[in-house]
Amino acid sequence: MLRLAGEAGLRRAEIAQVHTGDLMDGGALLVHGKGGKNRVVPISTYLVSLIRQAPAGWLFPNTPDRHLTPEHVGKIISRALPDNWTAHTLRHRMASRAFHGSRNIRAVQALLGHESILTTERYVAICDDEIRAAAACAW
């Protein structure tokens, strides 16, 4: 759960709905996103191997034919994190890391499944070094 939030940027509901059948060739995951919109998210080889090792079906089952609720996923993740951290905190951190590594806000938007680029911009944190560099350009 932690890796799906922190490495792939999935929302709680998206994590809850991961099915072993959603693993795609080439190291990608079919994500069942907000508003019924699916997207394909590349994932690490380590995450691929974890999903492949899981029994067929829901990755986080509640019963054999149902998955955990998003609320349950959120509680499990929050318990594993420092105080005041949530699954959404991991999603924001992933967005910031992806942007700082790629410098491509549109790619980050696609990874997160945001309709609006403005939403993605709110996710991306600006570090002090970047603020200092921007100021230095004006000197």
| CB under 8 A, 24+ apart: contacts of 111-114 | 111/8, 111/9, 111/41, 112/9, 113/11, 113/14, 113/31, 113/33, 113/34, 113/37, 113/39
Q: Which residues are annotated as catalytic?
A: 11, 34, 88, 91, 114, 123
